[in-house]
Amino acid sequence: MNFSLLSTMLMALSSVCLFFVGYAQQFSGSVAVSALFAFGDSILDTGNNNNLNTLSKCNFFPYGRNFIGGKATGRFGNGRVFSDMIAEGLNVKKLLPAYRDPNLSKNDLPTGVCFASGGSGLDERTARSQGVIWVPDQVKDFKEYIMKLNGVVRDKRKVNAIISNAVYLISAGNNDLAITYPTLMAQYTVSTYTDLLVTWTDNLLKSLYAMGARKFAVLGTLPLGCLPGARHTGGNFGNICLVPINQVAAIFNQKLSAKLNNLHTILPGAKFVYVDMYNPLLNLINNPRASGFIDVADGCCCMPTSPVPCPDASQYVFWDFAHPSEKSYMTIAPKIIEGIKKNLA
């Protein structure tokens, strides 16, 4: 498995790259989603890295080219990212703001914010190597957020209701497997390292549960071997998906799904849904024209194959080395949103 070169290319990507309204918004019949909170990596990050001393940021052109006003906000894509679409699909709000945005409005606090950090992961080594916000440190930000929310709402019961009726969206593991694991292969087998990632996910969920969280939607990893960064590794002249890397991602996803299926028996009152990102994206890759895509192997921008951004990102499954385009997220989001509604009702 040529993990090392994939790791290098993904690191290169990083371098280029109303006050209480919404509290009673409905998502399914009589079930209300008060807010959305996002934790993890660049699939969900809406700008938390912008003021960090890191190369893993993208608050510059051509990122955000198709965002409102053509503004680069720090989202790792050409427009809105997955967390924005889940927030809109759950009738919370159209855009999920970054918690570390210095211009964050107090009015945004009651309906949720994003704590995710591009390049981060469950393994501390993943975050520290890039100078981004490790997932457990994102939980510390959440604790600080609750204090701020108390100051805004000034009603403990309402604060508790917001926290317990919110959906907690989590994406972690992509960077651990693509960036960190290649440096640890002499120390860990695939089985032992993926077991560690699942254990760390379990610890994360229990930490949030202890703070009042009850509704969790946890994303599996992408088909990592099909990312443009993997396809364009040296010697892969056919630019095909790297099956061994996909197999590692699938092993982690299977273990993660199994863990989530059992957690409700350990954490009373909590509900969990495993969000399959692997197969919906793989379906787009294998059947692109069914959804109006033309290119599945290249990113629209920021690659040797596209030094000048493509004119129409909607024809590309991927925006850059590792991130789906806005249209890809829009294509797979509706069924995922319905699954979240059904399983967290």
Please give the pLDDT value at position 304.
87
Q: pLDDT-based confidence at 8, cuts 50/70/90?
A: very low
Q: Is 42 a catalytic residue?
A: yes
Asked if pLDDT for residue 9 goes beyond 90, the answer is: no
Task: Out of 34, 42, 83, 314, pick the active-site residue.
Answer: 42
Q: Which of 314, 323, 325, 328 is catalytic?
A: 323
Q: 235 in the Ramachandran plot: left (φ > 0), alpha (ψ -120 to 50) or beta?
A: left
Per-residue pLDDT tens digits for 243-268: 999 999 999 999 999 999 999 999 99
- Starting at the earlier edge strand, list the strands of the sheet with 167-171: 36-40, 167-171, 215-219, 271-275
pLDDT at position 256, please?
98
pLDDT at 20 over 50: no
Record the tokens describing residue 297, joined without a space. Answer: 């192997």
- 3-class secondary structure, 67: coil
Peptide bond into 62 cis (omega under 30): yes
Please report, rounded to a whole number, the percentage of residues in the chain having pLDDT higher than 90.
86
pLDDT tens column, 138-190: 999 999 999 999 999 999 999 999 999 999 999 999 999 999 999 999 999 99
In this prediction, residue 234 carries a pLDDT of 66
Residues 117, 298, 320, 328: which is the catalytic one? 320
Residue 236 pLDDT grade (very low, low, confident, very high; cuts 50, 70, 90): low
334 pLDDT higher than 70: yes
46-61 residue pLDDT tens: 999 999 999 999 999 9
What does pLDDT average to over the chain? 92
Query: How confident is the model at residue 4, as a pLDDT?
Result: 52
pLDDT greater than 80 at residue 72: yes
pLDDT in tens, 189-227: 999 999 999 999 999 999 999 999 999 999 999 999 999
Least Cα distance to 80 among 100, 64, 104 occurs for 64
Domain region containing 194? 3-344
pTM of the shown model: 0.92
Average pLDDT over residues 5-31: 42
Name the H helices within 124-233: 124-128, 135-153, 156-164, 174-175, 190-210, 228-231
Please confirm, yes or no, whether 323 is among the known catalytic residues.
yes
- Residue 14 pLDDT greater than 50, yes or no: no
Range name among 67-76, 300-309, 314-323 with the lowest pLDDT average = 300-309
Domain count, the chain: 1
Average pLDDT over residues 131-142: 98
What are 281's two structure tokens? 């994206």
What band does 32 get if pLDDT is binned at 50, 70 and 90? confident
Active site residue 264: no
What's the CATH number where 142 sits? 3.40.50.1110
List 31's β-bridge partners, or say none.
Answer: 28
Start-end of H helices in 51-177:
82-89, 124-128, 135-153, 156-164, 174-175
Q: List for the chain the helix, strand, coil content (%; round to 5).
A: 45, 10, 45
C-alpha–C-alpha distance, residues 167 and 99, integer Å: 16
